[in-house]
Amino acid sequence: MMCTGDELRQKIRTEKREIERLQQDFADLQMIREDMYDSDDDSSSSSEESDDGDDLRDILQQLLRENADLEASYYLTIR
């Protein structure tokens, strides 16, 4: 059972790092999008940025759910 707890803790740490990375990517994309709205660039680029942001948002939501599930599993194993 200790091995399982250690594995879950490692997965939680990994998921948290991935969430942080995705949040940074999302923030970077938002900044790029804002810069594009401020300039008079081509609208097709803006659409592509929006699609990337939507994809990253979906991935982030999935990772947050998985992280919550892993944390719940971890706390159940240490009881």
Q: In whole angstroms, give the CA distance from residue 13 to residue 28.
A: 23
Domain boundaries, the chain: 7-73
Beta-carbon contacts of residue 37 (< 8 Å; ≥ 6 apart): 46
Q: In whole angstroms, give the CA distance from residue 74 to residue 55.
A: 28
Question: Which residue has 């998985």 as its token pair?
Answer: 66
- pLDDT tens per residue across span 5-39: 788 888 888 998 988 888 888 888 888 888 877 76
Tokens for 71, please give them.
Answer: 């944390």
Q: For residue 45, is pLDDT > 80?
A: no
